[in-house]
Structure formats: C-alpha cells, structure tokens
Amino acid sequence: MSVAKLWRGALRHIGWVLGLAVIAIVVGAVLRIGDLHAFATMLENARPGWLLVALGLQATTYASVAAGWKIVLRQTNTPQPLRRLYPIAVGKLFADQVLPVAGMGGNMFLVDRLTALGVKRGNAVATLLVAMIGFYAVYGLCALAMLAVLWIKGLASIWIAGFVLVFLAVATAIPGLALWIRRRGRRPVSSTLARFASIRALVGIVAEAPKRLLVDRRLILRVAGVNGLVFLADAASLMVCFLALGQPVRFPVAFVAVMTASMIATLGPIPLGLGTFEAGATEMLALMGVPVEAALAAMLLLRVFTLWLPLVPGFALIRRALRTKAAGLTA
C-alpha cells in the first residue's frame, strides 16, 4: 500500500476516530464524576496568574520538540525555521494520541509535513528516527532519575524498580526496532508481518534515512537534550498547578509524579491514557505525602494543559493537512 493510499484512508476515517475519542472522553468523565467535582471545588479558588504560567510552560514543550527536529534538519542542509516546525509538533501530538494513521500515528504525519516543506524524504525520515532515539534515550534517563529520587526518599520498592525496568526495556525496543529496519534495508519482511500495511510502509520509508545521521552520537545527544526539556517543563507545569490551587509541592515530587504517569500511559493500552495517567500520578503523590484531594485536582488541571487544550488546534492542523494532501493527490 502506498503512502498516498494511507493518507486517503486516514482522511476517510478521521470522523469515526474522533468519534471514538469523544466517547472515551465522555465515559472517562462519567466514571470519574467524583474527581471532577473535587476538581471544580478547588478550581474555584485557583489563582489565574499561575494558570498562565502553566500555559506558557506547555507552549515551551512543543518548541523543544520542534527544536530537536530543527537541529537534525540543519545537519541535512535543509534547515527549517522554528515557526514552521512548531505547528507540526502540535499536530503530531494529536496524531500520536488520537489519530492512528495506518497504525503509525504522528510519525507518518511528521514525515509527510517535512516533505511538504521541501525536505527530502530520506532526511525527513532521519529527522524522525534521530528524534525518536533522542526522545527515548532521555525518557529512560528520566525514569532512572525518578527511581533515584524515590530511593533517596526511602520510597523505592522492588515493584517500582521492576516497573521501571519493564519501561526501560520498552523504551529501548522502540527505537531499536526502527534501527533494525534501517539496517535490513528494503529486503522483504516475513509474510506474517507483510500483512500489516503500516509495517510495509515503515520498512519502505525507514530504509531511506541516511545512515550517517543515525550514528552521529553528538547529534543524538543534542536532540536528547532539548527533548529532556519537555519532561522538565511538564514537571514544572504540575508544580505550578499545585501553586495555582494553593497547595505547593517541591519540584522533585512533581517530577516523580509526572514520570510515573507518563510511563504508565506509555505502557498502558488505554487511548489517551484516560484515567490511568491521573490515577498513577495521584497514587504516587499520595505515597509522597500529598493530600489525595489536592493531588487529584492538580493532575486534572495539568491534563487540561497537556491533553485537552492541545487537542483542538491539533485536530484542526491534522484535518487541514489531510485535506491538503488529499486535494494534491486527486489534482
């Protein structure tokens, strides 16, 4: 199946995918109506100034992701300004969490948008792969840092350590699979894997990435560095949400909660991490001595900034890109 057909399929199914997302949101809200009531009660006394700070911090996360792409693109001699990459970062978030484009989520969206900006397809794929390697590398380091904080606080356990190890295995396997596909080139995959259109498409595009970029350790470290700012900004956003509710917590506590929730959402099968993200973070915050009511309210507030608000512009950007692509294909 060609990439063009994948895009047409995504355009045809965007309506029902969004519908399923809305259903998930409604079901999640109904199941957690008590949590929403606690959230509303504490929000009445929230300080708007801190909410603006949280909004600004979240805006920097997309800039950090886009900056990682910018670093790689500069190495390919096809530099792009941050203002063009920033909307792609917002759209990719939506694609990753809601719109599985032929099973490849925001990855296909990123490659397509970069090629639309005039970047050679191989360089666009290299940008994706280097960004993926850098992201999961720093993700793993942050997971270890989270475990270290818990150990210092005397809260680490064999179960938490096991959870981190499982996550590290997954975080290593994801970019490892992409690199394995790149090394094997365009050789046909097994008949079992060939039945999946997304895997056939992935094999086709990953093989185009220049090898020199994938083995450039300095480049990967730079990309990992800017991606690390995303996790720090998310933790700072949670800390600011607590300040907005008049329940201050220290940065290490917020960092551990955000990392726990992110790892649970990454490993879990529930779309958007609905419920699991909030529950995981709240339980960890309670373990570290934060009142449950404040923890729940702060986490629900954080999700407004990290998930619900970005979905609106993300959906608009994805839909416009798909329509533009479809129009180009039929022209």
The pLDDT tens digits for 72-110 are 999 988 899 999 999 999 988 877 766 544 445 677 788
The residue among 211, 249, 55, 235 whose CA lies nearest residue 146 is: 235
**326 pLDDT tier (thresholds 50, 70, 90):** low
The pLDDT tens digits for 141-198 are 999 999 999 999 999 899 999 999 999 998 888 777 767 766 665 555 555 554 545 5
Q: Give the integer Cα–Cα distance in Å for 72 and 224.
A: 11
Contact 37, 300 (CB under 8 A): no
Q: Give the integer Cα–Cα distance in Å for 100 and 107.
A: 10
Residue 17 exposure: Cα atoms within 13 Å on the Cβ side: 22
The residue among 285, 276, 275 whose CA lies nearest residue 254 is: 285
Residue listed under structure tokens 């995981």? 280
Of the two residues 313 and 57, the one the predictor is more confident about is 57
The pLDDT tens digits for 230-263 are 999 999 999 999 999 888 999 999 999 999 999 9
Q: What is the DSSP letter of 209?
A: S
pTM: 0.81
Of the two residues 148 and 310, the one the predictor is more confident about is 148
Contact 272, 97 (CB under 8 A): yes
Q: Give the integer Cα–Cα distance in Å for 7 and 318.
A: 11
The residue among 238, 281, 256 whose CA lies nearest residue 148 is: 256
